[in-house]
Structure 1
Amino acid sequence: MKTLLYSSVVLVVVVAVLRNQFSKQFVNMADLVLDQIYFGLCKLDGVQEFNQRSPNYMEGNWIPVHKELKVVGVPGKGNLPQELVGTTYARIGPNLKCWPPTNKHHAFNGEAMIHTIHMDTNSSIKYSNNWIRENLPNKRWDDIGKECGPTFGFADLNDGGLVLFRYLVLKMKSKLKGIVHPPQERIQAGSTAIVHHAEKIFACSELFLPFEIKMSSDSVNPIGFYDYHGKLTNRKNGPVDGTFSAHPVIDEKTGDLYYASTNQAAGSVAGGQPFLDLGVVDKTGVLYKLFHIPIRNPTSAFYHDIMLTENYVIIPETSLKKDVTRLNSYKTLTFYNETEPMRFGIIGRDARPQMK
């Protein structure tokens, strides 16, 4: 396995060199060849069988919504409580723009879409839905969906198999075309939760930096990734950028926002030691506490949520683990370790960070 991986890495380098030596015609031909290699690997890896097994994420309510609607009247019965009139309810979720996918599909895969229901009057409801159309390098929104080419996502990693070879083919395609992709933390807007805090609205996920948006009852305007004035970037340990939380918790009394996350992108295990970040943002939007807490390796697969009491922050650490080295043996990225029972980290809310 390692020999094949090393050979593939060498091939990536060769492709990069050839790109600088030959014509556009060669690049197009080589790209087509890589596409055939990718789809051949998909067949060997059982991608179609994975997507068609029961249950799956390809049928029923799992099918993404592909039409964006604006202020569509929704029929209803009765009257709304007066307190709700003029308010807007919003939810967010992944909504894959290119369908059907060519890779193994999972509910976590897809661009972020926000659905809103605006209570216009006590008897009138208006519905709208919008993708968060980030203005990112090499992401042309109008081209997404025209043709579903080779791609990569969570289910590919979590099903093991030939995933590393398919990933290397995608790397070769990028090298061939001279495409430089953003780091994981800036791939897209989060699609797990919407958070309103300190007069800002964020699309959140534990994999990415928080993404600021502006919202109205019928539109979503992307602003960009937010790093709390540089405090979530230029890090000394692991990746340059930090990540946020899928579900930050806001103290209703103080207005402070608490989040916990561990950036598990490339380079995250700095010197063999992964870290979990615990941050506290005051009601004005200032990140004034940031803990870097050493955690066990392999880490939990997700640090998805936290609990807040009057005096403590409680962070669950589950027995579902994540270990990227397992991919070298065709195994799944995540696995259940029954020898490590679930634990809870408890930190006093009056604690002060010991490291910067």
Structure 2
Amino acid sequence: MRGVSIGRFLTLTLACGCAETRHEAREVSPAAHPTIATAESTASPPSAAAPSALPKSGPRELTLEPPANIACSIASSAWTGNLQLREGGPVFATVTEVRTTLSIPQEKAAAFANVDAPLKMRGVVTTPLLFLAKPMLLGGFVLPRADTPLSAAGPHAEGRLSITLDLDELFSDPKLVAQELPCAAVATMPSSYDAASFVGAKGEADDVRFVDGTDLRTSAKGDPVARISNTNRVWVTAKAQSGAVRVVLEADRYYAVGWVPLSAVKQGLDLPELLKGGGGTGVGLAGYEPQLRCPRDLPVSAQMGGERARIGTLRKGERFIRADRQPKDLEQGEAAIVLVVPWLTMAPRAVLFTKEAELAGCKSY
């Protein structure tokens, strides 16, 4: 909270240091100093020099800048996701199937989004959803489904991403698999590969189960890579070799493939939805002016609660609506605007706005 300056105290040059003189110095005329009301002074009339009321605090101004040290910039021709004004902040907009580049910094997981649409937007994506661009075994034994999102907590090396996948549905150890991947191996939207076919999970699953604590190995004689704690569906995909058999285990989000000892196999047991943004356009359309077009690019900002930032530029000639119901927390000289487009959904309390002066020359039709 900003401190309030009461004024500069007068410097009194005292002729002596006696108590009476100091007492007189404190009892100066009310007109000479600002007055601070106390329990004893509330009955007195206010001083003419009393400070004026504090100005109303406005929204906090944020700046959206791309990260300095980028690990990966991943482009998508049809990205869907949520945008924020800052890391960890509320979602101010959801974009759907638009050309977007996500830049992920080396130090952390939050991404910076550049949306290449009629409204060229930018924003923060605190937890970007990342997917394998093509099938590969993580840790040598786990294949995520094509639509399974991966976590990328960082830090990351330049040109690479450190990703993880939770494994506790099927394994007690390890609880997750971690691997560093080149940028080209990661996508920002689900791929189309067939994970089941890639690992050999074809036809009906086999009626098998495993002894508790069975280890999964990458080869018949290899070292254990994971300890099985649960099974859903299991396929036996190869004949026994060196006292072990190759199996595929199915989980909701991934497949695991490896070898288990024949002695651990028992017979006789049968064993993503994309982000949707909140509805609404941020401001009501009960009343509005006709759609507008501007002869030049239009700078656009967004406000969500008590925070705001410049988020992009609406290209010249693109249509928009100037909202008739001006949100009360916009400042004088600012105008709320609405884009009625299929690819953008504003959060219920979020507002797009521009400067009134920027609308000069924009024409309705």
Report the TM-score range of the alignment, normalised by the length of the smaller protein.
Answer: under 0.3
- Which structure shows the higher strand fraction? 2
> Which protein is bigger by CA-based radius of gyration?
2
Q: TM-score, normalised by structure 2?
A: 0.20
- Which structure shows the higher helix fraction? 1
